[in-house]
Structure 1
Amino acid sequence: MKLNIKSCLVAGMFSLTMASCSLLGPIDDIHPENVLDDETVITDARSAEIAVNGIYEGWRAKSSIYNALFLRTGVMQSSSVSGARSFLTGDIQDDNVIVEETYIFLYYIINQANSVLAALDKDIKGLSEEENLNYQREAKFNRAMANFMLLRLYGEFCNMDSQYGIVLHDAPVRDNTPKARATVRQCYTSILDDLKEAEVLPVKHSSLGTVAMYYGNYLSAKALKAKVLLSMGNFDEAYKLADEVITKGADEGIMLEPVYGDIFSSFQSTDLLFYPYTMNNQQTVAGYRYDWSAGAGNTLRKIAALYPEDKRYAWAFDAENMISSYRMNKYQMNDNVDKVPGNSLYMLRLSEMYLVKAEAAIRKPAPDFTAAREALRPITDRAGFAADFVDNVADKDMLMTVFYQKYLELFGENFEDWFDMIRYNKLDGTDWVALGYVNSWTRLALPIPRSAIAGNDLLVQNP
């Protein structure tokens, strides 16, 4: 079966249809109910808001890639999700259902963003020029995040000179015009261009006056950019930007939660830099993401055992004080009650900026171990470590300590640990198989879906 981007998006629209008319797609010949094309979807300020919210809602549509990569990095013990076990063994084929589903889902978000950008390229009734520009910047923030995820999943993101980037789209897809992959360098340029525009977005507030971190803003754009720069190997700039997010975040009320578990009890957590929009049970992550019935994976158990004083792992899997129906306390909100926020899907947290800053400080051309320790200290202090823990870590052990702390801080959230493993392997030669943390070291870049290649004769498979 051939699968081109257009047919992928049409299929995605049917599967993602929600109660509001917030889904749109640039299709010329099919107009299903609740799906508007980019020529008519935005006619006034209200429809512009709905269309932009539709981009954010897309992030909560698919979740099987989470189970798959949680298995791969040993965070999760087992999963019944179709196609996930292949990630555990490394035998990931180009017809794997998760490989195809994730590819479609991410390009769907990109096409949503491009459709909004096309529709906003005109005067909109009731929408000021600045409001119009800010909606465009939000669309570009989401496009940058989706392209970055695609690049890290399906491209050779750690090799700036690689030809194996992803297919870039800066306009709505209306037909099956073949298009080649961009180089990795071109992909990063496109992502950074989008984030540069998003860096001026103000922080929005809810009707209650609280910060609304379910919208892109200058803090989330800079946080994402810091991660992009770390992946590119621009460690000086990644360090500076992570530090800037920490400093300026405090001015907006964004700071580390004193108690780790409080991060996951409410979307009002001060630790959050970006989480996709959620309002009711139609915008939650599908339940199969929370496949924790078998408990923590072997790697998570091993790393947690290195640090018996760590409170994060113990809290997340505390059987006597389990408050989550999913058997892991990071998912404790209710997915099934109307008008009650759905469960956590945290894509950017302030804690991660401390860890990005720590790693970048070590990897800079002029390593600064003092700065790395001071960046790491607030994370380990909150996790229950001794006040002098970071002072007693030898310089030669600092990089792996940062890895372990990031793994324990973010496990079960956004599969950042997999991209960290790839980076540490490429830069430091870390053998994760020899350490017993992964079962195989193949298919570091997921194969491009067979059906996508069949529909695009310029699309080249990963080696």
Structure 2
Amino acid sequence: MKSKYNLYIAVSFFSVFFMSCDLTKDLDEYEPLYSLPAETAISDESSAELALTGVYAILQQKGGANPQNSMIGSTLSGINAGGYPAFLYAEDYSLMANNPITDGDIVAGIYAGQYTMINRANWVISGVEKLTANNFVNDNRQAEIVGEAKILRAVGHFYLLRLYGQFYDINSEYGVNVRLEPARDATVHPRISVGETYDAIIKDLDDGIASAPALRTKYYVNKTFAKGLKAKVLLYMGKYAEAAALAKDVMQNSGANFALTPTFTELFNHRSGNTIKNSESLFSIYADDNETLGNGAFWSVFAGVSDWYYNLAKNGSMTVGGQVIKYDQNRIPFMETGTYIFQGAGINGNMKFAQFTGPDAIFDTLYYLRMAEMYLIYAEAAARSTNSVPADALTALNAIRIRSGATTTGGNGFVTYPSSISYAQFLEAVRIEKMMELGTEFGEEWFDLVRYDYADGFGTGFKASDVKPTATNSDKFILPIPAISIKTGKGIIKQNPTY
């Protein structure tokens, strides 16, 4: 990993040609720095590779969007109950109360960080597309680099949409500012609709599926990740049949490099550098003793897993046809073996991420998408597309439970769900299973709460407030556009409702 670390150091010098973030300007506007024009900075395969690594560096480095981008969903859902009170600020409390302030550093940092990555990707795409095959030593590498950059651009736009846009309503006008060209001046661009935002994301993912590499290594994006992310985007869009078909394709046709691991705990081994090589990851970023992600330190200092989440996992159950079926048995006890920096403070640790000190403090892996989520995307999408519980959807859900120790013998306890499960129970079982399997990794449980609430009609049927009591105002299910962006946006950038 030291070579990767050194490459990121080099990128820190090279990337000054591609972006800057000046908070006196709109946060989604960036300009190239210094005298070397960005258009000429990419001149051959070597410089193109270095520029592409500069895009990946945004995902790796602390600051900007990280690590809050992966944690904020869990803050909104209540799984993150906050760390030691002395380490928390007004913005932290506003997020935990589902009433975000507009001028906080977290809201602004995530927003700016994603646009930084998008702008770097745009410079790579623009620069590499102007070259010819003669500028490249390796066959197809020109197209592959563009494909990777477009996937990363789609990642940035998707995360912006689900945090700052009304992602749940494809007909809403409140999408995000989609940037498909490098920022060459301080022109302010308006937001576009949610549907148009999704169209741009899908277009980039389709291009990535067509031209990105099959697999370099798991800390670079690839065709399978792009297909998996597209299935997830389609689920968010409510295109359930398409989402199910694509998720099933990823599950069944991705080869040995992309498959469920035999056990859950091996995904979070902080003592071995081999964790990054596991088959379950579709795309992940990685840290060792030379480079950090910040997540472990944050979950050991500035964040703590809530009692209600751990208690739900240990004591929660669903009754199906007389069977009392427990939500979990082994995953949450493993997470609980993590320790908070101040032992005795009454704050829970989290072993999914590297610890603050000790032998489990060295290696860290943050999964942007893994195969278990594909199984659960398929289960939900297949059910919603047919308003029923297809047998293979039930099999997909139970596969994740079996991997975590569930038995197939029937009866009570941590067992597989039976075929007698109702449609409504099945959807709830999938939501709970995602919470048990993916909790604290990227806040997916929050976006599920919002999607499920919207699917039933906000305030009727399933309600996010049934799980998170403070989540009562649907306008606050998304974050505000940062105040600095609204202030400098010259009236062109529209704020989200009621902010």
| TM class by smaller structure | 0.7 to 0.9
**Corresponding position of 1:3:** none
Please say if 1:256 is aligned against 2:241.
Answer: no
Answer yes or no: is the 8 Å Cα contact 1:150–1:166 preserved in 2. Answer: yes
> Aligned AA for 2:18?
G
**Corresponding position of 1:284:** 293
**Corresponding position of 1:114:** 122
**Corresponding position of 2:34:** 31
Please point out which of 417, 425, 430 is paired with 2:462.
Answer: 430
Answer yes or no: is the 8 Å Cα contact 2:264–2:404 preserved in 1. Answer: yes
Please give the per-residue CA displacement for 1:406-438, whole angstroms capped at 9, x wherever unaligned.
Answer: 0000011011111111000001331232x3434
Are the structure 2 counterparts of residues 335 and 225 from structure 1 closer, same or farther at C-alpha, using a change threshold of 3 Å? farther
Are the structure 2 counterparts of residues 436 and 395 from structure 1 closer, same or farther at C-alpha, using a change threshold of 3 Å? closer
Answer yes or no: is the 8 Å Cα contact 1:155–1:165 preserved in 2. Answer: yes
Please say if 1:229 is aligned against 2:257.
Answer: no
Answer yes or no: is the 8 Å Cα contact 1:299–1:438 preserved in 2. Answer: no
CA RMSD of aligned residues (A): 2.7
- Aligned identity (percent) is 29
**TM-score where L is the length of structure 1:** 0.86
Please say if 1:390 is aligned against 2:400.
Answer: no
Q: What is the rounded CA distance, in whole Å, between the counterparts of 2:32 and 2:222 in structure 1? A: 35
Answer yes or no: is the 8 Å Cα contact 2:296–2:353 preserved in 1. Answer: no
SS in 1 for 2:184: coil
**TM-score where L is the length of structure 2:** 0.80
Paired residues for 1:210-249 under 5 Å: 212-249=217-254
Please say if 1:185 is aligned against 2:195.
Answer: yes
Please point out which of 419, 427, 442 is paired with 2:447.
Answer: 419
Q: How far apart are 1:157 and its partner, in Å?
A: 0.7
> Aligned AA for 1:460?
K
Q: What is the rounded CA distance, in whole Å, between the counterparts of 1:163 and 1:331 in structure 2? A: 37
Q: How far apart are 1:29 and its partner, in Å?
A: 7.1
Q: What is the rounded CA distance, in whole Å, between the counterparts of 2:441 and 2:429 in structure 1? A: 20
Please point out which of 346, 355, 358 is paired with 2:379.
Answer: 358
Are the structure 2 counterparts of residues 49 and 390 from structure 1 closer, same or farther at C-alpha, using a change threshold of 3 Å? same
Q: What is the rounded CA distance, in whole Å, between the counterparts of 1:309 and 1:288 in structure 2? A: 26
Q: What is the rounded CA distance, in whole Å, between the counterparts of 1:110 and 1:196 in structure 2? A: 17
Q: How many residues align?
A: 430
Q: How far apart are 1:195 and its partner, in Å?
A: 0.5
Q: How far apart are 1:73 and its partner, in Å?
A: 1.1
Please point out which of 267, 276, 279 is paired with 1:267.
Answer: 276
Structure 1 gap segments, 5+ residues each: 1-16, 206-211
Q: What is the rounded CA distance, in whole Å, between the counterparts of 2:357 and 2:137 in structure 1? A: 34
Structure 2 gap segments, 5+ residues each: 1-7, 20-29, 270-274, 317-325, 342-347, 411-415
Answer yes or no: is the 8 Å Cα contact 2:389–2:426 preserved in 1. Answer: no
SS in 1 for 2:282: strand
Please say if 1:170 is aligned against 2:180.
Answer: yes
Please say if 1:460 is aligned against 2:494.
Answer: yes
Paired residues for 1:40-439 under 5 Å: 40-61=40-61, 62-79=66-83, 80-82=87-89, 83-123=91-131, 125-127=135-137, 130-200=140-210, 201-205=212-216, 212-249=217-254, 251-265=255-269, 266-276=275-285, 281-282=290-291, 284-285=293-294, 288-291=297-300, 295-304=304-313, 305-306=315-316, 307=326, 309-318=328-337, 327-332=349-354, 342-387=363-408, 388=410, 389-391=416-418, 393-428=421-456, 429-433=461-465, 435-439=466-470
Answer yes or no: is the 8 Å Cα contact 2:73–2:442 preserved in 1. Answer: no
> Aligned AA for 1:441?
T
Q: What is the rounded CA distance, in whole Å, between the counterparts of 1:190 and 1:335 in structure 2? A: 43
> Aligned AA for 1:430?
F
SS in 2 for 1:345: strand
Answer yes or no: is the 8 Å Cα contact 2:118–2:153 preserved in 1. Answer: yes
SS in 1 for 2:427: helix
Q: What is the rounded CA distance, in whole Å, between the counterparts of 1:29 and 1:432 in structure 2? A: 43
Show structure 1 runs of 4+ deviating over 4 A: 26-29, 277-280, 292-295, 333-337
Are the structure 2 counterparts of residues 198 and 318 from structure 1 closer, same or farther at C-alpha, using a change threshold of 3 Å? same
Answer yes or no: is the 8 Å Cα contact 1:53–1:277 preserved in 2. Answer: no
SS in 2 for 1:166: coil
